[in-house]
Structure 1
Amino acid sequence: MSAARELGAYWPGDSPVHRARLRVKAAGMVLISVAAFLAREPGPALALLCVVLAVAGVSTVPAPRVFAPVRAGWLLLLLVGTYQLVSGAGGAASIGRAVTVVAVLVAAMTAAQLLVATTPTGRLLDGVVAGVRPLRRLGADPDRFALTTLIVLRSITWIARAFDDARDAAVARGLQRSLRARTLPVVLRTVDHAQRTGLALAARGLGDPEP
């Protein structure tokens, strides 16, 4: 399975992380995000990453599944790290900044993946509904927000499968080096998928505003 297909996929288990309340895991995710935002030195950033990796080890989720976001976004991480190296003052300061930025990004990406990988989709959506419910007074619709979240999660896997299919088709035709052959079918299928999804939602009245 490709790294992109493993994004947002639940991994069944009975680890302490699986059994933890969703609110506890969500609070941990928020704390990790805040700590990542505040980290300015390599030491705290690497310590934060070690904490996330320790939780990942306790979760019993296989490493390929845990690091799926990192595997899928390795090029982005490389570009971000390189930018920090060339845009800084040079020397140890630039290296430290690059290590800090990449470490906090990996920690945040891995923590988000752990949250989804150890929480059943239904339970996760129930949590989304509960979290958005206080905003109903401001016009938010918790059920539609949860539906949007579900569509996003499923679309990630669908688009990843489309990329895999386009790659296999290009290889079969001897066009594995053709960027057009590997991307144009994905674009066309994605547009078609979006249109069909929108029509299905409209047919069920889910796209109409409530009175």
Structure 2
Amino acid sequence: MSQPSMVAVHQPGDTLLHRLPVGPKLAGLGALSLTIVLVRSAPASLLFLAVALGLALLARVRLPLLLTAARGVLLIALVASLVQGLFYGAGKAVETFVDLLALTLAAVVVTATTPVNAMLDALVRWSGPLRHVGVPPERVALTVGLAVQALPGTVALALETRDAARARGLGRHPRAYLTPFVVRVVARAHETGDALAARGLGDD
């Protein structure tokens, strides 16, 4: 089964973005995300998408990875754009769809050019002051890492469960999709918990 995970998409390389430290990359992603949210216009959205694609080309991110990321966010983007279009017109719908796609591709570029360990080490360093109030920085990094990993993995499970329901001719029956989806998500959570406990990471 194919289960795309944004944590597991790191592609070793020697591009400028690969050599850039974690901090500037995350700060750049945050700045781009904030700009996309604040600047509301369809032409600007196309510019943001062009920037995200340019960064992907600069980082030499593989096309299958970009297509997988786009597929993962496509359903959410379509629903959000339809809602915007219903209330504000076609222009707003296109803008919303392109904005979400640009954000997704920019995030993929960051994860593709940043090793997981480097990301977690940076989170541990930045969370250092929390140790003084009794919060272990290592657990903060672990929590963030698991959250980032779980989101795209859950999207993958949703897509696979939907496709399986359609293959059985049950695509129009919500229960045929939702029940196995919930079961698989809970099973994934138990597997993660058991793996952490086996490594002593769930102990107080």
Listed as ranges, the matches of 1:28-177 within 5 Å are: 28-88=28-88, 94-155=89-150, 175=168, 177=170
Preserved contact between residue 5 and residue 153 of structure 2 (Cα < 8 Å):
no
- Scaled by the length of structure 1, the TM-score of the pair is 0.77
5+ residue gaps, structure 1, are 89-93
Preserved contact between residue 56 and residue 109 of structure 2 (Cα < 8 Å):
yes
Structure of larger gyration radius: 1
| Distance (whole Å) between structure 1 residues aligned to residue 140 and residue 184 of structure 2 | 25
Give the deviation of 1:59 after TM superposition: 0.8
| Distance (whole Å) between structure 2 residues aligned to residue 167 and residue 99 of structure 1 | 25
Number of residue pairs aligned between Structure 1 and Structure 2: 201
Q: Which residue pairs with 1:24 in the alignment?
A: 24
Deviations 1:133-164 (A, max 9, x none): 23444554320022123333554576567668
| Distance (whole Å) between structure 2 residues aligned to residue 125 and residue 133 of structure 1 | 12
Preserved contact between residue 6 and residue 149 of structure 2 (Cα < 8 Å):
no
| Distance (whole Å) between structure 1 residues aligned to residue 184 and residue 139 of structure 2 | 25
| Distance (whole Å) between structure 2 residues aligned to residue 82 and residue 165 of structure 1 | 23
5+ residue gaps, structure 2, are none
- Scaled by the length of structure 2, the TM-score of the pair is 0.79
Compared CA separation, residues 95 and 11, structure 1 to 2 (3 A): same
Compared CA separation, residues 147 and 105, structure 1 to 2 (3 A): same
